[in-house]
Chain A
Amino acid sequence: MNDREQQGFTEYFASRAGVLRGTAYLLCGDWHRAEDLVQTTFVKLYRAWHRIAAREVLDAYTRQILIRTFLDENRRGFFHREKATAEHADRTAPTGGSAEDRLMLLHALTKVPPRQRAALVLRFWADLSVDETARAMGCSAGTVKSQTSHGLENLRDLVPTANFID
């Protein structure tokens, strides 16, 4: 990677790492693990950086790496060996009823199966279309629809009483 490419990569990291970390946090429910996921994502992106001629596809490509890394690590049981928590060491827990609901949602999301969780996060947090989600997850649009539906069903079962709308 030459100096110009290096600078472009560094600037891209600065502009996108925060957003990706938020997505990763929703996927794994833990800020430390989210940062590990983002770091792994950018290490893989670094390797391919000089080959990506179309910068307009960069966000989709990077998100695809993140999602597939997350799913691969789940396949290998990485996330099962170390229990994920929704708490970050530096954070303070919000107080009040709606804050509890929010925490409950985050906890519940970590209990939804990984592929369903990925579909939910991409569809409703990243606001991707069904087809874009399918491409990121490497599956068909029909699978995304069914994973989304099952994911919402599971969430309803996990938090049947929570009111998520303020």
Chain B
Amino acid sequence: MNEQEFRHALRDTMTAVPEPPPMSETPVLEASRRAQRRRKARWAGAGSAAAVAVVALAAVVLGGNSGNGAPGGGVQVGGSGTPTESAGGETKDTETSWPNGQTDRTAHSGPRFDQGEALLGEVTAVVPAGFGAPDDLVYLDPAYSGGLLRHSQAQYRDTVDGVEVWEYQGEQPVTKDGGVGRMFVEVTSPGSGITGDGCDLAPTLWGLEGTCQEKVVDGKRVGVFTATGSRRDFETWAGYRYDDGTVVFVAQALDYPGSAMPALTSAPLSTDRLAELAVDPRFPRD
């Protein structure tokens, strides 16, 4: 059975299988409203808890003679914000299905989150002279739901032989002459299943299509790719796989979708520099 045969078979099958009556929107709307009410109640609960903690802290501070407990009180107030993560509306079952008590694939705090932030710092540090590296630009296109253009991400990928595999990303907007582009680094920890070296690295960044030129940096094989497919997330990127399986991709793009700003007229990095950065020991993460 080839792909085309399977496609036909699925269509034939679904045509032949009798469908139940159409779904009514009423139960869905009722369930949605119930979920929203529960979510608001949780937010209110979290807010009340925070308010109580603030009042308690104020009492300690204003009391003035209980200094041994005050620092802990400050931590407690911050800690009371934690429930707002789970107040995002995910069910308790979903919360427990990710590692480290996360509510989804992304680490929003903790050591993994910190690794992502540290990686972003390294990306910013290698923006070449002559280009700006702003940290306050935001998405202006309403389709992108706001947020900073400069951001990091740490996300759980899988557990292989008992070892968690993580992906860390750092994306830095790069500006020059009123235009904005991007520099991006993605690091995948060992065990991801990415194989090969140089141009044989597979899969390459996000499975993007591109031509590859292999460069050797300090005896290490680096694949330097130029996008060719219809999906142009980046113009060029370089990839290197360490002996332990850590994979580093360094990428750049002339534009920044959602920024509502014009694109750069020239790339910030040469392909040689991309290859150098791919093997730079500042990027790998556990």
Contact = CB atoms under 8 A, between A and B. Distances in A.
Contact of A14 (B20, B25, B27, B231): B25
Nearest to B146: A51
B231 A131 contact: yes
A25 to B, nearest CB: 8
Contacts of A124: 3, 6-7, 10
Interface in A1-54: 1, 6, 9-10, 13-14, 17-18, 21-22, 25-26, 31, 35, 38-39, 42-44, 46-47, 51, 53-54
B126 interface: no
A42 B13 contact: no
A15 to B, nearest CB: 11
Q: Is the contact region of chain B dominated by helix, strand, or loop, or is it mixed?
A: helix
Contacts of B143: 53-54, 57
B75 interface: no
A38 B183 CA distance: 38
Nearest to A34: B20
A131 B207 CA distance: 8
A39 B31 CA distance: 8
A118 interface: no
B12 A164 contact: yes
B23 A17 contact: yes
Interface stretch (B41-49, B89-97, B107-115, B234-242): B89-97
B48 to A, nearest CB: 22
Contact of B1 (A92, A143, A155): A155
B18 A120 contact: no
A72 B97 contact: yes
Nearest to B202: A142
Nearest to B206: A140
Contact of A53 (B12, B16, B35, B142): B142
Interface in A69-94: 72, 75-76, 88, 90-92, 94
B29 interface: yes
B28 A39 contact: yes
A141 to B, nearest CB: 2
Interface residues of B, number: 45
Interface in B179-202: 202
A164 B6 CA distance: 7
Interface string A120-137: 110111000011001000
B145 interface: yes
B62 interface: no
A44 to B, nearest CB: 8
Interface string B223-259: 0000000010000000000000000000000000000
Contacts of A120: 6
Contacts of A105: 9-10, 13
A131 to B, nearest CB: 5
Contacts of A101: 9
Contacts of A39: 23, 27-28, 31
A60 interface: no
Contacts of B10: 26, 105, 121, 124-125
Nearest 10 A-B pairs (CB), nearest first?
Answer: A141-B207, A142-B203, A164-B9, A46-B32, A54-B143, A102-B13, A53-B142, A124-B7, A91-B18, A140-B207
Interface of B: 1-3, 5-14, 16-20, 22-23, 25, 27-29, 31-33, 35-36, 39, 89, 93-94, 97, 105, 142-143, 145, 202-204, 206-208, 231
13 contacts: A1-B36, A18-B22, A25-B14, A31-B19, A35-B23, A38-B23, A46-B33, A53-B142, A91-B17, A120-B6, A121-B10, A152-B1, A152-B3
Given A21-B23, A106-B17, 14 more contacts: A1-B36, A17-B22, A17-B23, A17-B28, A39-B23, A43-B28, A46-B29, A46-B35, A75-B97, A76-B93, A102-B16, A125-B7, A131-B231, A144-B207
